[in-house]
């Protein structure tokens, strides 16, 4: 009996390592994670609306009381600028790395003069902002790729069209060259 | 011969235990560090850079993105206040004091939405009616209900309720207590 104990203990210990390694691998190997689902919506560095909230929607599990725009970003060739005019209702801008780790978020209360203006830069972009103005919020992304979600609260169904219209005026685009 | 057998035991055990645990964990999220209040639970770290490996793996598999912590927190209930699984063939009443948040919503997940596309999909804090004590009362059912009614699809499958609170923090919600006071979910009847 004892002679089988060693391989069993070794197997269990190794199982723990396999578990952690495979757990780390799930986000790397997942075929349909948030980033992979948002990428086909359109070109990178531009906002695209997310339609639907069900399991097969571009981004499942979203609150149906919100209108959402997504911008898949790539800051490897330079910063990305995000302009969001805010309305009277709640609105939030959240930044995610490729494996959907939220690294920054702000909401309409951070707006200056009715506008949220963000310059998103890569992890090593340490130079001065392209367009140096005090009302621009500069964010350094931990990675060169990821995505941004702009979510506008629809207080009641009758407000949906006005929130949609409000969101249409926001822009996610490559920052102009200095 | 014996060495081969021993190595085989090690390999089979390692693969079985390791991959089995991973497979189980992504389908039954262990929710480490979850904050629970009655039937509601949330992972306060899911919308931060400190999110744990399990939550990250589950989100990758479902294709979801969490609410960033600066945006809000979402509480999920899979059972009623008496611990029974939420089922689409039952009627539930969600009631209580309104959470201390500027904006909050109540919606159904994990079930097909009500068939009619023009039916309500979520309740927001501005739409609910309140009684003299400032409490609200929403009936969740696949059949028409009087008062505030959140429709769900017909069937007898399980579903979850989500209470999402925005522009607030867990500390603001709990107000010095250990856990926030969230609405009750009472089952009234089943078909």
What is the span of the domain harbouring residue B171? 35-190
Taking contacts as CB-CB distances below 8 angstroms, the residues of chain A near B12 are: 11
pLDDT band at A31 (very low <50, low <70, confident <90, very high): confident
Quote the pLDDT of residue B95.
94
B4 burial level (CB within 10 Å; 0-12, 13-18, 19+): exposed
Which residues of chain B have a pLDDT value below 70?
112-118, 176
Closest chain A residue to the Cα of B164, Cα to Cα: A63
CATH assignment of the domain containing B103? 2.60.120.600
Q: In terms of domains, do B138 and B49 share one?
A: yes
Instruction: Compute the mean pLDDT over every residue in chain B, rounded to the nearest whole number.
Output: 88
Q: What is the pLDDT of residue B168?
A: 86
Q: Where are the alpha helices (DSSP H) in A52-148?
A: none
User: Which of 49-88 (B) contact A at CB < 8 A?
Assistant: 49, 51, 53-54, 56-57, 59-72, 74
Dump pLDDT digits (tens) for A43-79.
999 999 998 877 778 898 899 999 999 999 999 988 9
The answer on B103 and B24 residing in a single domain is: no
Tell me if chain A has a CB within 8 Å of the CB of B29.
no
Give the model's pLDDT for residue A21: 93
Are B83 and B19 found together in one domain?
no
In this structure, the answer to whether residues B153 and B81 fall within a common structural domain is yes
Q: Is the complex ipTM more than 0.85?
A: yes
Task: Residue B144: count other Cβ atoms within 10 Å of its Cβ.
Answer: 9
Specify the residue for token string 């078909």: B191
CB of B28 less than 8 A from some CB of A: no
Cα angle at A49 between B56 and A75, to 5 degrees?
A: 60
Residue A137 pLDDT > 80, yes or no?
yes
Contacts of A10 in chain B (CB under 8 A): 10, 14
- The pTM is what? 0.90
Same domain, B19 and B65: no
Contact yes or no for B17 and A106 at CB 8 A: no
Total domains in chain B come to: 2
Interface residue A103 vs chain B (CB under 8 A)? yes
Which pairing describes strands B184-190 and B135-141: parallel, antiparallel, or unpaired? unpaired
Which among A12, A33, A110 is the top mutation candidate for probing chain B, defined by the most B β-carbons within 10 Å of its own β-carbon?
Answer: A33
Contact B73, B168 (CB under 8 A): yes
Judged by a CB distance cut-off of 8 A, whether residue A162 touches chain B is no
Q: Would you state the structure tokens that stand for residue B33, as one six-digit string?
A: 């560090």
Q: How does pLDDT run across B79-118, given as a tens digit for each residue? A: 999 999 999 999 999 999 888 888 999 999 877 666 666 6
* A86-135 pLDDT per residue, tens: 988 999 999 999 999 999 999 998 888 889 999 999 887 665 555 667 78
């Amino acid at each position: 009996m004892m002679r089988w104990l060693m391989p069993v203990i070794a197997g269990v210990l190794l199982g723990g390592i396999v578990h952690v390694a495979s757990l780390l691998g799930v986000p790397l190997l997942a075929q349909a994670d948030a980033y992979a689902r948002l990428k086909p919506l359109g070109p990178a560095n531009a906002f695209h609306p997310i339609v639907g909230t069900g399991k097969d929607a571009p981004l499942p599990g979203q609150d149906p009381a919100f209108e959402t725009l997504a911008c898949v970003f790539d800051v490897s060739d330079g910063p990305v600028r995000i302009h969001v005019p805010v309305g009277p209702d709640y609105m939030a801008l959240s930044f995610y790395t490729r494996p959907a780790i939220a690294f920054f978020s702000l909401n309409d209360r951070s707006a200056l003069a009715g506008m949220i203006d963000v310059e998103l830069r890569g992890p090593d972009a340490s130079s001065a902002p392209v367009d140096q103005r005090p009302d621009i919020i500069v964010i350094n992304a931990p990675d060169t790729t990821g995505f941004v979600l702009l979510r506008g609260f629809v207080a009641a169904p009758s407000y949906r069209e006005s929130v949609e219209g409000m969101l249409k005026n926001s822009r996610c685009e490559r920052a102009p060259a200095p | 011969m014996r060495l081969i057998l021993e190595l085989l035991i090690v390999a089979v055990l390692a693969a079985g235990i390791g991959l089995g645990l991973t497979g189980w964990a992504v389908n039954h999220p262990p929710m480490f560090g979850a904050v629970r209040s009655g039937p509601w639970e949330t992972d306060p770290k899911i919308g931060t850079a400190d999110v744990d490996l399990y939550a990250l793996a589950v989100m990758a598999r479902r294709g979801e993105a969490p609410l960033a912590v600066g945006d809000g927190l979402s509480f999920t209930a899979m059972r009623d206040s008496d611990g029974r699984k939420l089922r689409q063939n039952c009627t539930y009443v969600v009631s209580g004091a309104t959470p201390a948040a500027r904006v909050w919503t109540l919606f159904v997940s994990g079930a097909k939405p009500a068939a009619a596309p023009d039916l309500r999909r979520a309740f927001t804090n501005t739409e609910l009616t309140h009684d003299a004590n400032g409490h609200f009362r929403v009936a969740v059912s696949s059949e028409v209900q009087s008062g505030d009614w959140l429709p769900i699809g017909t069937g007898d499958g399980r579903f979850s309720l989500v209470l999402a609170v925005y522009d607030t923090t867990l500390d603001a919600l709990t107000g010095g207590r250990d856990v926030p006071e969230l609405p009750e979910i009472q089952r009234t009847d089943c078909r």
